[in-house]
Amino acid sequence: MVLRVKPDGASRLIQSVNAVAEVTLDMSRYPFDRQQLDLVFEVLDAAPDEVVLRTPSEVTHAPELDRKIPQWTVTEITQRIRTGFAPYIRGGGVSSTLVVSVHVERKSFYIRRLIVLPLVVIVMLSFCVFWMDRSSLGDRISVSFIGILTGVTYQLILSDSLPRISYFTLMHGFLNLSFVTMCATVVINLIVGAMDKHGMYEAGDRLDRRCRWLFPLLYVSGNLLLVTIALF
C-alpha cells in the first residue's frame, strides 16, 4: 500500500485488493452472452465535500485479465464517477463513488464443440428414417428413440454447466427444438406404419418424400429463428 499526499491535500492511494465478488448474470443469450461486471468503490462515512473520487487520467488497459478469467474474453474496461444517496453519512447525503466496469464476452467454442455440433449431426442422422423401408417400423422407431435418448443426455450435460436458473436461454431453446424434432419423427413413423398396414403404400411413400426435405428445413429455420430472437 502506497499513499502519497501533496501539499494541496490531493491524495493518491495505490493498494492491491484481493476479493471474491458475486454478480447476477443475464444468461438468456448463453453461450453467446456478454456481461458487464461493475466494481464499485467509495469511501464510507465521507461527505462529498471531504472526499471526491476522480478517475485516473491514463487509459485503463489490462489485456492480461483475459488469461485470468476462464472461458471469458475481456473486451473493454471503463471507469466513471457517480454520486448516490448514502444513508451512512452523517445526517444523510450523497457520496462520491468510482465505478469500474469490466465488459466480458463468453468464449462459446467449448459449448459449440461439446453440445451444438454433435447434436446437430445426430438430429440430421435421425432423419434417415424417412429413407428406410416403410414396412420396417420397428427399425425406424429404434433409430428415432436412440436420437431422443441422446438429446436427453445432452440436456443433462448442459444442466451441469449452467446454474439453476428459472428462465429460458438460447441453449435451452436449441435443445428443446432438437428434442421435439426427433419426437416428431416417431409420430411420422407411426403414421407411415399405419398407412402401410391399411394398404396405403403410395400415401406413405409420399409422406416420407415430403419429410425428407421438410424436417431439415424446419429444424434449420427454427434454430436460425432462435438465434435471431436471442441476439437481435
Residue appearing with cell numbers 434454430 = 223
109-231 maps to which CATH number? Answer: 1.20.58.390
Given a cut of 60, whether residue 147 has pLDDT beyond it is yes
Residue 226 CA to residue 232 CA, distance in Å, equals: 10
User: What are the cell numbers at 126?
Assistant: 435421425
* Cα radius of gyration (the chain): 28
Residue appearing with cell numbers 435421425 = 126
Residue 194 CA to residue 200 CA, distance in Å, equals: 8
Note the pTM of the prediction, 2 decimals: 0.77
Given a cut of 90, whether residue 123 has pLDDT beyond it is yes
Residue 145 CA to residue 183 CA, distance in Å, equals: 8
The pLDDT tens digits of the residues spanning 81-101 come to 887 777 666 656 677 788 888
The pLDDT tens digits of the residues spanning 158-196 come to 888 777 888 889 999 999 999 999 999 999 999 999 998
Residue 6 CA to residue 53 CA, distance in Å, equals: 15
* pLDDT mean over 116-140: 91
Q: How many helices (H) and strands (E) does the chain have?
A: 5, 5
Of 204, 200, 163, the residue nearest 28 (C-alpha)? 163
Q: Answer for the pair 182, 222: CB distance below 8 angstroms, yes or no.
A: no
Residue appearing with cell numbers 441422446 = 150
Residue 96 CA to residue 199 CA, distance in Å, equals: 82
User: What are the cell numbers at 162?
Assistant: 449452467
Given a cut of 90, whether residue 125 has pLDDT beyond it is yes
Q: Answer for the pair 179, 148: CB distance below 8 angstroms, yes or no.
A: yes
In this structure, the number of other CB atoms found within 10 A of the CB of residue 47 comes to 16
Q: How distant, in Å, are the alpha carbons of 19, 42, 45 from that of 98?
A: 17, 6, 15
The pLDDT tens digits of the residues spanning 2-46 come to 889 989 888 888 888 788 888 888 888 998 999 998 888 877 766
User: What are the cell numbers at 198?
Assistant: 391399411
- CATH 1.20.58.390 positions along the chain are 109-231
- Phi and psi at residue 100, in whole multiples of 5°? -105, 120
- Phi and psi at residue 135, in whole multiples of 5°? -80, -15
Q: Return the pLDDT at 149.
A: 92
C-alpha angle 19-78-16 in degrees, rounded to nearest 5: 30
- Phi and psi at residue 41, in whole multiples of 5°? -125, 130
